[in-house]
Amino acid sequence: MTQQNNRLGIVVSGSLNKGVEVRLDGSTSVEDMVVGRYVTIEGKKQRFFGMINDVSLGVTDPRLTLTPPDTADPFLTEVLAGTSTYGQLQVMPYLNIGGDSASLIEGPQPVKTIPSHFSVVNLARDSDIELVFGKEDKERFWIGNPLDMETKLCLNLPEFVKRSNGIFGKSGTGKTFLTRMLLIGMLQKGACVNLVFDMHSEYGWAGTSEKGRTVKALKQLFPSKVAVFTLDEENSRRRGVSTDFVVRIGYDEIEPEDISLLRQTLNLTDQAVEAVYQMRRRFGKDWLQRTSELDDSEETKEILNQLNIHDSTFQNLQRGLNTIRRLPFIQQQASQKAVQQVLEYLGRGTHVVLEFGRYTDITAYILVANLLTRRIYSQYRERTERAMAEGIAYPTPLVITIEEAHKFLNPIVAGQTIFGTIAREMRKYNTTLLVIDQRPSGIDDEVLSQLGTKITCLLDNEKDRDSVLSGTPGKGELKSVLSKLAAKQQALIFGHAVPMPVAFQPREYGSAESYKSFQDPAESDEQAEIDIEELWD
Protein backbone atom coordinates (compact mmCIF):
# COMPACT_ATOMS: atom_id res chain seq x y z
CA MET A 1 0.00 0.00 0.00
CA THR A 2 1.44 3.38 -0.98
CA GLN A 3 1.69 6.43 1.24
CA GLN A 4 -0.90 8.18 -0.93
CA ASN A 5 -3.38 5.33 -0.47
CA ASN A 6 -2.84 5.57 3.27
CA ARG A 7 -3.86 9.23 3.39
CA LEU A 8 -6.84 10.06 5.61
CA GLY A 9 -6.98 13.86 5.80
CA ILE A 10 -5.33 16.91 7.33
CA VAL A 11 -4.91 18.48 10.78
CA VAL A 12 -7.24 21.46 11.27
CA SER A 13 -6.90 22.25 15.01
CA GLY A 14 -5.85 20.82 18.37
CA SER A 15 -3.71 21.08 21.48
CA LEU A 16 -0.93 19.10 23.17
CA ASN A 17 -3.17 18.00 26.07
CA LYS A 18 -6.32 17.12 24.14
CA GLY A 19 -4.87 15.96 20.83
CA VAL A 20 -5.51 17.21 17.30
CA GLU A 21 -8.63 17.36 15.15
CA VAL A 22 -8.30 15.78 11.72
CA ARG A 23 -10.66 16.54 8.86
CA LEU A 24 -11.10 13.52 6.62
CA ASP A 25 -10.68 13.79 2.86
CA GLY A 26 -13.85 13.47 0.83
CA SER A 27 -12.63 10.14 -0.56
CA THR A 28 -12.17 8.67 2.95
CA SER A 29 -15.23 6.98 4.42
CA VAL A 30 -15.86 7.81 8.06
CA GLU A 31 -17.29 4.29 8.45
CA ASP A 32 -13.82 2.85 7.86
CA MET A 33 -12.39 4.73 10.83
CA VAL A 34 -12.07 2.76 14.07
CA VAL A 35 -11.19 4.00 17.54
CA GLY A 36 -7.82 2.54 18.54
CA ARG A 37 -6.22 2.54 15.06
CA TYR A 38 -2.84 4.14 14.52
CA VAL A 39 -1.91 7.03 12.29
CA THR A 40 1.17 9.02 11.38
CA ILE A 41 1.17 12.79 10.96
CA GLU A 42 3.66 14.41 8.59
CA GLY A 43 4.51 17.73 10.24
CA LYS A 44 6.78 20.32 8.63
CA LYS A 45 9.74 19.41 10.86
CA GLN A 46 8.68 16.28 12.71
CA ARG A 47 6.84 13.05 12.10
CA PHE A 48 4.29 12.01 14.71
CA PHE A 49 2.77 8.66 15.66
CA GLY A 50 -0.68 8.71 17.28
CA MET A 51 -3.93 6.87 17.94
CA ILE A 52 -7.52 7.60 16.92
CA ASN A 53 -9.52 8.33 20.07
CA ASP A 54 -12.83 9.50 18.62
CA VAL A 55 -14.74 9.72 15.34
CA SER A 56 -17.36 12.39 14.61
CA LEU A 57 -19.35 14.06 11.84
CA GLY A 58 -19.24 17.74 10.90
CA VAL A 59 -20.97 20.18 8.56
CA THR A 60 -19.90 23.54 7.17
CA ASP A 61 -23.45 24.87 7.19
CA PRO A 62 -25.52 24.24 10.36
CA ARG A 63 -28.70 24.45 8.27
CA LEU A 64 -27.89 21.03 6.84
CA THR A 65 -28.56 19.45 10.24
CA LEU A 66 -31.93 21.22 10.47
CA THR A 67 -33.06 20.53 6.91
CA PRO A 68 -31.14 17.47 5.65
CA PRO A 69 -30.95 16.96 1.88
CA ASP A 70 -32.93 14.28 0.06
CA THR A 71 -30.84 11.15 0.58
CA ALA A 72 -32.76 9.41 -2.18
CA ASP A 73 -30.62 11.39 -4.63
CA PRO A 74 -27.17 9.70 -4.48
CA PHE A 75 -25.60 12.37 -6.71
CA LEU A 76 -26.55 15.15 -4.26
CA THR A 77 -25.19 13.15 -1.32
CA GLU A 78 -21.91 12.57 -3.17
CA VAL A 79 -21.58 16.25 -4.02
CA LEU A 80 -22.08 17.31 -0.40
CA ALA A 81 -19.68 14.69 0.99
CA GLY A 82 -16.27 16.21 1.69
CA THR A 83 -17.44 19.75 1.04
CA SER A 84 -20.52 20.65 3.05
CA THR A 85 -20.38 17.45 5.13
CA TYR A 86 -17.27 15.69 6.35
CA GLY A 87 -15.89 13.18 8.83
CA GLN A 88 -13.62 14.19 11.66
CA LEU A 89 -11.13 12.34 13.88
CA GLN A 90 -9.68 13.14 17.25
CA VAL A 91 -6.08 11.90 17.27
CA MET A 92 -3.70 11.87 20.22
CA PRO A 93 -0.05 12.13 19.08
CA TYR A 94 2.11 10.05 21.45
CA LEU A 95 5.52 9.77 19.85
CA ASN A 96 7.96 11.59 17.62
CA ILE A 97 9.25 9.04 15.10
CA GLY A 98 11.49 11.19 12.91
CA GLY A 99 11.91 14.45 11.05
CA ASP A 100 14.50 17.16 10.51
CA SER A 101 14.88 18.02 14.20
CA ALA A 102 14.44 14.52 15.63
CA SER A 103 17.11 11.89 16.08
CA LEU A 104 15.99 8.27 16.34
CA ILE A 105 19.28 7.00 17.76
CA GLU A 106 17.50 6.45 21.09
CA GLY A 107 14.27 5.34 19.44
CA PRO A 108 10.87 7.06 19.30
CA GLN A 109 10.52 9.87 21.84
CA PRO A 110 7.47 11.28 23.67
CA VAL A 111 5.97 14.28 21.92
CA LYS A 112 6.48 17.76 23.35
CA THR A 113 4.65 19.68 20.65
CA ILE A 114 1.96 19.13 18.01
CA PRO A 115 1.96 19.13 14.20
CA SER A 116 1.21 22.37 12.37
CA HIS A 117 -2.04 23.22 10.58
CA PHE A 118 -2.84 21.15 7.49
CA SER A 119 -0.25 18.46 8.23
CA VAL A 120 -1.12 15.31 6.30
CA VAL A 121 -2.46 12.38 8.31
CA ASN A 122 -1.93 8.80 7.09
CA LEU A 123 -2.82 5.35 8.34
CA ALA A 124 0.21 3.83 10.08
CA ARG A 125 2.06 1.22 8.05
CA ASP A 126 3.58 -2.05 9.26
CA SER A 127 7.02 -0.44 9.18
CA ASP A 128 5.79 2.33 11.50
CA ILE A 129 4.52 -0.22 14.04
CA GLU A 130 7.82 -2.09 13.93
CA LEU A 131 9.73 1.16 14.39
CA VAL A 132 7.74 1.97 17.53
CA PHE A 133 7.31 -1.47 19.13
CA GLY A 134 10.20 -3.42 17.61
CA LYS A 135 10.39 -6.80 15.91
CA GLU A 136 10.18 -10.23 17.52
CA ASP A 137 13.61 -11.23 18.80
CA LYS A 138 15.29 -12.85 21.82
CA GLU A 139 13.66 -10.31 24.16
CA ARG A 140 10.49 -9.19 22.38
CA PHE A 141 7.52 -11.52 22.34
CA TRP A 142 4.68 -11.36 19.83
CA ILE A 143 1.44 -10.83 21.80
CA GLY A 144 -0.99 -10.01 18.99
CA ASN A 145 -1.86 -7.49 16.29
CA PRO A 146 -2.98 -3.86 16.56
CA LEU A 147 -6.67 -3.52 15.71
CA ASP A 148 -7.32 -3.86 11.96
CA MET A 149 -3.65 -4.43 11.19
CA GLU A 150 -1.68 -7.54 10.24
CA THR A 151 1.67 -6.47 11.68
CA LYS A 152 2.99 -8.13 14.84
CA LEU A 153 2.78 -6.24 18.11
CA CYS A 154 5.73 -7.19 20.32
CA LEU A 155 6.34 -6.74 24.05
CA ASN A 156 9.79 -6.40 25.63
CA LEU A 157 9.52 -9.06 28.34
CA PRO A 158 12.73 -8.30 30.33
CA GLU A 159 11.41 -4.75 30.64
CA PHE A 160 7.92 -6.03 31.44
CA VAL A 161 9.03 -8.17 34.42
CA LYS A 162 11.03 -5.35 36.02
CA ARG A 163 7.83 -4.15 37.69
CA SER A 164 4.61 -5.66 38.96
CA ASN A 165 1.89 -5.80 36.31
CA GLY A 166 -1.84 -6.39 36.05
CA ILE A 167 -4.34 -8.11 33.75
CA PHE A 168 -7.93 -6.97 34.11
CA GLY A 169 -11.30 -7.51 32.46
CA LYS A 170 -14.80 -8.64 33.30
CA SER A 171 -15.59 -12.35 33.42
CA GLY A 172 -15.40 -14.08 30.04
CA THR A 173 -13.30 -11.47 28.23
CA GLY A 174 -10.11 -13.54 28.00
CA LYS A 175 -8.00 -12.67 31.06
CA THR A 176 -6.94 -16.30 31.53
CA PHE A 177 -6.03 -16.58 27.86
CA LEU A 178 -3.87 -13.45 28.03
CA THR A 179 -2.20 -14.58 31.25
CA ARG A 180 -1.39 -18.00 29.79
CA MET A 181 0.10 -16.39 26.69
CA LEU A 182 2.26 -13.97 28.70
CA LEU A 183 3.51 -16.79 30.94
CA ILE A 184 4.47 -18.73 27.82
CA GLY A 185 6.31 -15.67 26.55
CA MET A 186 8.29 -15.38 29.78
CA LEU A 187 9.28 -19.05 29.50
CA GLN A 188 10.12 -18.78 25.82
CA LYS A 189 12.34 -15.72 26.26
CA GLY A 190 13.83 -16.76 29.61
CA ALA A 191 12.94 -13.39 31.13
CA CYS A 192 12.31 -14.75 34.65
CA VAL A 193 11.06 -17.70 36.67
CA ASN A 194 7.37 -17.90 37.51
CA LEU A 195 5.43 -19.06 40.54
CA VAL A 196 1.79 -19.34 39.51
CA PHE A 197 -0.99 -19.83 42.07
CA ASP A 198 -3.40 -21.55 39.68
CA MET A 199 -6.82 -21.28 41.29
CA HIS A 200 -8.77 -23.02 38.50
CA SER A 201 -6.08 -25.34 37.05
CA GLU A 202 -5.69 -23.39 33.81
CA TYR A 203 -1.93 -22.88 33.51
CA GLY A 204 -0.24 -26.18 34.41
CA TRP A 205 -0.96 -29.13 32.13
CA ALA A 206 -4.03 -28.01 30.17
CA GLY A 207 -6.47 -25.14 30.11
CA THR A 208 -9.75 -24.17 28.50
CA SER A 209 -10.24 -21.94 25.47
CA GLU A 210 -12.94 -19.29 25.21
CA LYS A 211 -14.96 -21.80 23.18
CA GLY A 212 -14.75 -24.38 25.96
CA ARG A 213 -12.32 -26.82 24.36
CA THR A 214 -9.14 -28.09 26.00
CA VAL A 215 -5.86 -26.42 25.04
CA LYS A 216 -2.26 -27.14 26.02
CA ALA A 217 -0.83 -25.18 28.93
CA LEU A 218 2.74 -24.58 30.15
CA LYS A 219 3.79 -28.12 31.11
CA GLN A 220 2.82 -29.62 27.74
CA LEU A 221 4.58 -26.90 25.79
CA PHE A 222 7.70 -26.74 28.00
CA PRO A 223 7.92 -30.15 29.74
CA SER A 224 11.54 -29.69 30.90
CA LYS A 225 11.06 -26.13 32.16
CA VAL A 226 7.81 -26.39 34.15
CA ALA A 227 6.96 -28.26 37.36
CA VAL A 228 3.33 -28.82 38.37
CA PHE A 229 2.64 -28.82 42.12
CA THR A 230 -0.81 -29.73 43.40
CA LEU A 231 -2.89 -29.46 46.55
CA ASP A 232 -5.30 -32.07 45.22
CA GLU A 233 -3.50 -35.22 44.05
CA GLU A 234 -6.75 -37.08 43.36
CA ASN A 235 -8.05 -34.33 41.08
CA SER A 236 -4.74 -34.20 39.18
CA ARG A 237 -4.73 -37.97 38.70
CA ARG A 238 -8.31 -37.92 37.43
CA ARG A 239 -7.39 -35.27 34.85
CA GLY A 240 -4.36 -37.26 33.74
CA VAL A 241 -1.87 -34.69 35.02
CA SER A 242 1.57 -35.93 36.07
CA THR A 243 2.54 -33.81 39.07
CA ASP A 244 6.02 -33.11 40.43
CA PHE A 245 5.08 -32.51 44.07
CA VAL A 246 2.02 -32.80 46.30
CA VAL A 247 1.77 -29.85 48.67
CA ARG A 248 0.90 -30.43 52.30
CA ILE A 249 0.88 -27.72 54.97
CA GLY A 250 1.72 -28.57 58.58
CA TYR A 251 0.01 -26.93 61.55
CA ASP A 252 3.39 -25.62 62.67
CA GLU A 253 3.89 -23.77 59.36
CA ILE A 254 0.85 -21.54 59.84
CA GLU A 255 1.65 -18.26 61.55
CA PRO A 256 -0.52 -15.40 62.86
CA GLU A 257 0.22 -13.31 59.75
CA ASP A 258 -1.40 -16.04 57.63
CA ILE A 259 -4.56 -15.93 59.74
CA SER A 260 -4.68 -12.13 59.80
CA LEU A 261 -5.19 -11.98 56.01
CA LEU A 262 -8.13 -14.39 56.36
CA ARG A 263 -10.01 -12.04 58.68
CA GLN A 264 -12.81 -11.39 56.20
CA THR A 265 -13.20 -14.90 54.78
CA LEU A 266 -13.22 -16.49 58.25
CA ASN A 267 -15.42 -13.73 59.72
CA LEU A 268 -12.92 -13.05 62.49
CA THR A 269 -13.31 -10.02 64.72
CA ASP A 270 -10.39 -7.66 65.38
CA GLN A 271 -10.20 -9.08 68.90
CA ALA A 272 -9.98 -12.63 67.53
CA VAL A 273 -7.11 -11.65 65.23
CA GLU A 274 -5.27 -10.10 68.18
CA ALA A 275 -5.91 -13.29 70.17
CA VAL A 276 -4.07 -15.28 67.46
CA TYR A 277 -0.84 -13.45 68.28
CA GLN A 278 -1.39 -14.01 71.99
CA MET A 279 -1.90 -17.75 71.47
CA ARG A 280 1.27 -17.92 69.35
CA ARG A 281 3.28 -16.33 72.15
CA ARG A 282 1.70 -18.66 74.70
CA PHE A 283 1.98 -22.02 72.88
CA GLY A 284 4.80 -21.47 70.35
CA LYS A 285 4.76 -23.35 67.02
CA ASP A 286 2.01 -25.69 68.22
CA TRP A 287 -0.35 -22.78 68.84
CA LEU A 288 -2.92 -23.68 66.13
CA GLN A 289 -3.50 -27.26 67.24
CA ARG A 290 -3.46 -26.49 70.94
CA THR A 291 -5.79 -23.48 70.56
CA SER A 292 -8.23 -25.51 68.45
CA GLU A 293 -8.29 -28.33 70.97
CA LEU A 294 -8.89 -26.22 74.09
CA ASP A 295 -12.17 -27.35 75.61
CA ASP A 296 -14.62 -25.73 78.01
CA SER A 297 -12.61 -26.51 81.11
CA GLU A 298 -11.38 -24.57 84.10
CA GLU A 299 -7.87 -24.70 82.72
CA THR A 300 -9.04 -23.05 79.48
CA LYS A 301 -10.91 -20.36 81.40
CA GLU A 302 -7.75 -19.68 83.39
CA ILE A 303 -5.67 -19.32 80.21
CA LEU A 304 -8.23 -16.95 78.66
CA ASN A 305 -8.35 -14.94 81.84
CA GLN A 306 -4.55 -14.63 81.93
CA LEU A 307 -4.48 -13.50 78.29
CA ASN A 308 -7.48 -11.20 78.77
CA ILE A 309 -9.40 -12.91 75.95
CA HIS A 310 -13.20 -12.79 76.17
CA ASP A 311 -15.06 -16.08 75.81
CA SER A 312 -17.02 -14.93 72.73
CA THR A 313 -13.76 -13.82 71.08
CA PHE A 314 -12.22 -17.22 71.76
CA GLN A 315 -15.23 -19.04 70.28
CA ASN A 316 -15.02 -16.84 67.16
CA LEU A 317 -11.34 -17.71 66.82
CA GLN A 318 -11.89 -21.45 67.30
CA ARG A 319 -14.59 -21.51 64.60
CA GLY A 320 -12.15 -19.89 62.17
CA LEU A 321 -9.28 -22.21 63.05
CA ASN A 322 -11.49 -25.28 62.72
CA THR A 323 -12.41 -24.15 59.20
CA ILE A 324 -8.72 -24.23 58.34
CA ARG A 325 -8.11 -27.59 60.02
CA ARG A 326 -10.88 -29.15 57.92
CA LEU A 327 -8.95 -28.41 54.70
CA PRO A 328 -7.64 -31.85 53.57
CA PHE A 329 -4.15 -30.57 52.67
CA ILE A 330 -3.63 -29.18 56.20
CA GLN A 331 -1.94 -31.84 58.32
CA GLN A 332 -0.54 -32.12 61.80
CA GLN A 333 2.95 -32.54 60.35
CA ALA A 334 4.10 -32.20 56.73
CA SER A 335 6.90 -34.62 55.80
CA GLN A 336 8.33 -32.23 53.20
CA LYS A 337 8.21 -28.46 53.32
CA ALA A 338 6.53 -27.03 50.21
CA VAL A 339 8.51 -23.80 50.50
CA GLN A 340 11.86 -25.59 50.17
CA GLN A 341 10.60 -27.61 47.21
CA VAL A 342 9.40 -24.48 45.38
CA LEU A 343 12.70 -22.71 46.03
CA GLU A 344 14.70 -25.68 44.77
CA TYR A 345 12.80 -25.73 41.48
CA LEU A 346 12.96 -21.96 41.04
CA GLY A 347 16.68 -22.03 41.81
CA ARG A 348 17.19 -24.45 38.91
CA GLY A 349 15.33 -22.09 36.59
CA THR A 350 12.21 -24.28 36.56
CA HIS A 351 8.85 -22.51 36.59
CA VAL A 352 6.33 -23.71 39.19
CA VAL A 353 2.55 -23.90 38.74
CA LEU A 354 0.60 -24.74 41.90
CA GLU A 355 -2.81 -26.18 41.03
CA PHE A 356 -5.57 -26.02 43.64
CA GLY A 357 -7.79 -28.71 42.11
CA ARG A 358 -11.10 -28.90 43.99
CA TYR A 359 -9.96 -26.45 46.63
CA THR A 360 -11.07 -23.28 44.87
CA ASP A 361 -12.57 -21.84 48.04
CA ILE A 362 -11.07 -18.40 48.60
CA THR A 363 -10.00 -19.36 52.13
CA ALA A 364 -7.72 -22.12 50.81
CA TYR A 365 -6.38 -19.91 48.03
CA ILE A 366 -5.52 -16.96 50.28
CA LEU A 367 -4.00 -19.15 52.98
CA VAL A 368 -1.66 -21.08 50.69
CA ALA A 369 -0.69 -18.17 48.42
CA ASN A 370 0.07 -15.90 51.36
CA LEU A 371 1.92 -18.56 53.38
CA LEU A 372 4.21 -19.62 50.53
CA THR A 373 4.79 -16.12 49.18
CA ARG A 374 5.86 -14.68 52.54
CA ARG A 375 8.50 -17.36 53.02
CA ILE A 376 9.73 -17.38 49.42
CA TYR A 377 9.98 -13.58 49.37
CA SER A 378 11.97 -13.71 52.60
CA GLN A 379 14.46 -16.09 50.97
CA TYR A 380 14.71 -13.93 47.84
CA ARG A 381 15.30 -10.88 50.00
CA GLU A 382 18.16 -12.60 51.86
CA ARG A 383 19.74 -13.80 48.61
CA THR A 384 19.49 -10.38 46.99
CA GLU A 385 20.97 -8.60 49.99
CA ARG A 386 23.81 -11.13 50.08
CA ALA A 387 24.42 -10.61 46.36
CA MET A 388 24.62 -6.83 46.89
CA ALA A 389 27.00 -7.21 49.84
CA GLU A 390 29.29 -9.85 48.35
CA GLY A 391 29.19 -8.86 44.69
CA ILE A 392 27.88 -12.25 43.57
CA ALA A 393 25.17 -13.09 41.02
CA TYR A 394 21.65 -11.95 41.82
CA PRO A 395 18.84 -14.52 41.91
CA THR A 396 16.84 -14.91 38.70
CA PRO A 397 13.91 -12.42 38.64
CA LEU A 398 10.78 -14.02 40.09
CA VAL A 399 7.23 -13.24 38.97
CA ILE A 400 4.42 -14.39 41.29
CA THR A 401 1.01 -14.72 39.61
CA ILE A 402 -2.13 -14.39 41.73
CA GLU A 403 -5.81 -14.45 40.77
CA GLU A 404 -8.66 -12.71 42.61
CA ALA A 405 -6.08 -10.04 43.42
CA HIS A 406 -8.52 -7.72 45.22
CA LYS A 407 -8.73 -10.27 48.03
CA PHE A 408 -5.02 -9.71 48.73
CA LEU A 409 -4.72 -6.06 47.77
CA ASN A 410 -7.90 -4.29 48.87
CA PRO A 411 -7.50 -1.04 50.84
CA ILE A 412 -8.16 -2.77 54.19
CA VAL A 413 -5.32 -5.32 53.98
CA ALA A 414 -2.96 -4.12 51.23
CA GLY A 415 -0.73 -2.27 53.68
CA GLN A 416 -0.27 -5.40 55.79
CA THR A 417 0.16 -8.18 53.21
CA ILE A 418 3.28 -9.45 51.52
CA PHE A 419 1.64 -8.80 48.15
CA GLY A 420 1.18 -5.12 48.93
CA THR A 421 4.82 -4.97 50.01
CA ILE A 422 6.05 -6.57 46.77
CA ALA A 423 3.90 -4.26 44.64
CA ARG A 424 5.19 -1.13 46.37
CA GLU A 425 8.84 -2.19 46.32
CA MET A 426 8.78 -2.78 42.54
CA ARG A 427 11.81 -4.99 41.79
CA LYS A 428 13.89 -4.12 44.84
CA TYR A 429 14.44 -7.79 45.72
CA ASN A 430 14.05 -9.22 42.20
CA THR A 431 10.44 -10.21 42.93
CA THR A 432 7.36 -8.79 41.19
CA LEU A 433 3.66 -9.65 40.85
CA LEU A 434 1.36 -10.44 37.95
CA VAL A 435 -2.12 -9.73 39.34
CA ILE A 436 -5.30 -10.90 37.62
CA ASP A 437 -8.70 -9.50 38.54
CA GLN A 438 -12.12 -8.60 37.20
CA ARG A 439 -12.64 -5.88 39.82
CA PRO A 440 -9.71 -3.42 39.70
CA SER A 441 -11.78 -0.94 41.72
CA GLY A 442 -11.43 -3.36 44.65
CA ILE A 443 -7.63 -2.99 44.64
CA ASP A 444 -5.94 -0.33 46.74
CA ASP A 445 -5.24 2.83 44.71
CA GLU A 446 -1.62 2.99 45.84
CA VAL A 447 -1.00 -0.57 44.66
CA LEU A 448 -2.69 0.09 41.30
CA SER A 449 -0.50 3.14 40.78
CA GLN A 450 2.63 0.99 41.32
CA LEU A 451 1.72 -1.53 38.60
CA GLY A 452 4.11 -0.87 35.74
CA THR A 453 2.14 -2.27 32.81
CA LYS A 454 -1.59 -2.97 32.66
CA ILE A 455 -3.43 -5.10 30.13
CA THR A 456 -7.17 -4.69 30.30
CA CYS A 457 -9.97 -6.35 28.39
CA LEU A 458 -13.49 -4.92 28.38
CA LEU A 459 -14.71 -3.51 31.72
CA ASP A 460 -18.38 -2.60 31.77
CA ASN A 461 -18.30 -0.99 35.20
CA GLU A 462 -17.53 2.75 35.21
CA LYS A 463 -15.74 2.55 38.55
CA ASP A 464 -13.50 -0.27 37.31
CA ARG A 465 -12.55 1.69 34.18
CA ASP A 466 -11.69 4.76 36.25
CA SER A 467 -9.58 2.69 38.64
CA VAL A 468 -7.55 0.85 36.02
CA LEU A 469 -6.77 4.11 34.18
CA SER A 470 -6.10 6.15 37.32
CA GLY A 471 -2.94 8.24 36.99
CA THR A 472 -2.53 7.43 33.29
CA PRO A 473 -1.81 10.38 30.94
CA GLY A 474 -4.72 10.89 28.51
CA LYS A 475 -7.09 8.97 30.79
CA GLY A 476 -10.22 10.42 29.16
CA GLU A 477 -9.19 9.39 25.66
CA LEU A 478 -8.09 5.91 26.74
CA LYS A 479 -11.36 5.43 28.58
CA SER A 480 -13.17 5.93 25.28
CA VAL A 481 -10.96 3.32 23.60
CA LEU A 482 -11.43 0.86 26.48
CA SER A 483 -15.20 1.17 26.42
CA LYS A 484 -15.25 0.35 22.69
CA LEU A 485 -13.34 -2.93 22.96
CA ALA A 486 -15.11 -6.09 21.83
CA ALA A 487 -16.46 -8.40 24.52
CA LYS A 488 -13.80 -11.02 23.69
CA GLN A 489 -10.33 -11.21 22.13
CA GLN A 490 -9.48 -7.53 22.34
CA ALA A 491 -7.44 -5.71 24.95
CA LEU A 492 -5.67 -2.44 25.72
CA ILE A 493 -2.08 -2.44 26.97
CA PHE A 494 -0.38 0.63 28.44
CA GLY A 495 2.35 1.54 30.90
CA HIS A 496 6.04 0.98 31.53
CA ALA A 497 6.84 -1.79 29.02
CA VAL A 498 5.25 -0.17 25.95
CA PRO A 499 6.14 3.22 24.44
CA MET A 500 2.45 4.14 24.10
CA PRO A 501 -1.01 2.60 24.69
CA VAL A 502 -2.04 -0.10 22.21
CA ALA A 503 -5.46 -1.61 21.52
CA PHE A 504 -4.79 -5.07 20.10
CA GLN A 505 -6.18 -8.49 19.25
CA PRO A 506 -4.24 -11.29 21.01
CA ARG A 507 -2.51 -13.84 18.78
CA GLU A 508 -4.18 -17.12 17.94
CA TYR A 509 -3.82 -19.90 20.53
CA GLY A 510 -4.96 -23.49 20.55
CA SER A 511 -4.03 -24.83 17.11
CA ALA A 512 -1.10 -27.12 16.29
CA GLU A 513 0.54 -24.27 14.39
CA SER A 514 0.24 -21.90 17.34
CA TYR A 515 1.77 -24.47 19.71
CA LYS A 516 4.72 -24.85 17.36
CA SER A 517 5.27 -21.08 17.32
CA PHE A 518 5.27 -20.95 21.13
CA GLN A 519 7.65 -23.86 21.74
CA ASP A 520 11.44 -23.88 21.56
CA PRO A 521 12.67 -26.16 18.73
CA ALA A 522 14.22 -28.59 21.26
CA GLU A 523 11.00 -28.77 23.30
CA SER A 524 8.97 -29.16 20.11
CA ASP A 525 11.06 -32.15 18.94
CA GLU A 526 10.83 -33.76 22.40
CA GLN A 527 7.05 -33.35 22.47
CA ALA A 528 6.76 -34.76 18.93
CA GLU A 529 8.57 -37.92 20.08
CA ILE A 530 6.21 -38.23 23.05
CA ASP A 531 3.17 -37.81 20.78
CA ILE A 532 4.50 -40.54 18.44
CA GLU A 533 5.11 -42.94 21.33
CA GLU A 534 1.58 -42.35 22.66
CA LEU A 535 0.19 -42.94 19.17
CA TRP A 536 1.77 -46.42 18.94
CA ASP A 537 1.10 -47.47 22.56
**Sequential DSSP letters for 67-91:** S---TT-HHHHHHHBTTTEEEEEEE
Tell me the whole-structure pTM to 2 decimals: 0.87
Cα 432 to Cα 423: distance, rounded to the nearest angstrom: 7
CA distances to 207, 228, 234, 355 from 242, in Å: 15, 8, 11, 12
Q: Taking the CA of residue 407 as centre, how many other CA atoms within 13 Å lie in the half-sphere pointing to its CB? A: 21
At 474 the pLDDT is: 80
pLDDT of residue 341: 95
Distance CA 407, CA 443 (A): 8
pLDDT of residue 342: 95
Measured in whole angstroms, how far is the alpha carbon of residue 397 from the centre of its chain? 17
10-residue mean pLDDT series, the chain (537 residues): 71 93 91 90 93 90 74 65 81 85 67 94 92 92 90 93 94 91 93 94 86 86 95 92 93 92 90 94 92 90 92 94 93 90 94 94 92 94 91 91 92 85 85 95 92 94 92 84 89 94 91 84 53 44
DSSP single-letter state for residue 264: T
Q: Which helix (H) or strand (E) holds 434?
A: strand 431-437
- Specify the pLDDT at position 330: 93
pLDDT at 23: 94
